[in-house]
A = this chain, B = another copy of it.
């Protein structure tokens, strides 16, 4: 599952958001679900775990929730990994 990777370049990986017209808040869950090939519940579960550990930040706008990378925490996590390895 390459969700975090996809979120690096949303315009490259996903169709445009009809309502919003931009990716400033990341990508809506529906698109991630559709691209993933997994079930909606599985993806929702993934996304909420990524939220819980702080690697992505959700923004709800109307019916949609957009998910964007939290670069700060991702970098901190990478540093932690490189300390462990």
Residues of A within 8 A of B (CB): 2, 4-5, 55, 74, 77-78, 81-85
In the complex, which residues of chain B have a beta carbon less than 8 angstroms from the beta carbon of A78? 81-82, 85
- Contact present for B83 and A5 (CB under 8 Å): yes
- Contact present for A81 and B84 (CB under 8 Å): no
A69 to chain B minimum Cβ distance, whole angstroms, is 9
Q: Report the separation of the CA atoms of residues A1 and B25 in the bound assembly, to the nearest whole angstrom.
A: 37
Chain B: CB-nearest residue to A82: B78
Q: Report the separation of the CA atoms of residues A78 and B81 in the bound assembly, to the nearest whole angstrom.
A: 8
A82 to chain B minimum Cβ distance, whole angstroms, is 6
* A and B contact pairs by CB, cutoff 8 A, 13 listed: A2-B84, A4-B84, A4-B85, A5-B83, A5-B84, A5-B85, A55-B85, A74-B85, A77-B85, A78-B81, A78-B82, A78-B85, A81-B81
